[in-house]
Amino acid sequence: MADELLDAKGLSCPLPILRAKKTLKIMGNGDLLTVLATDPGSLRDFPSFCSQTGNRLEGSTEIEEGVYRFLIRKVI
């Protein structure tokens, strides 16, 4: 398994989701993608994205003021 880090800080919607989708496409089943984002909309976008794509959102936290971390497990 290979884990990936996607730094999407400073990007506005829909770029964090589009970059995550592109990164997940090349990852293997079971791999973990960590996304760092500053777009407040990402708090609702990533849960919705994971629900729609079948990937699993394993966690989301605000790691510092205005910086959010999303842990996405590729399951398809």
What would the two tokens of residue 49 be? 């994205």
Please list the active-site residues.
13
Record the pTM: 0.94
Pairing of strands 32-37, 4-8: parallel
* DSSP conformation class of 28: P
Q: What is the pLDDT of residues 1-59, one digit of tens each?
A: 579 999 999 999 999 999 999 999 999 999 999 999 999 999 999 999 999 999 999 99
Residue 65 CA to residue 76 CA, distance in Å, equals 32
- Return the C-alpha torsion angle 19, 45, 66, 68, nearest 10: -70
The fold of the 4-73 domain, in CATH, is Translation Initiation Factor IF3 (3.30.110)
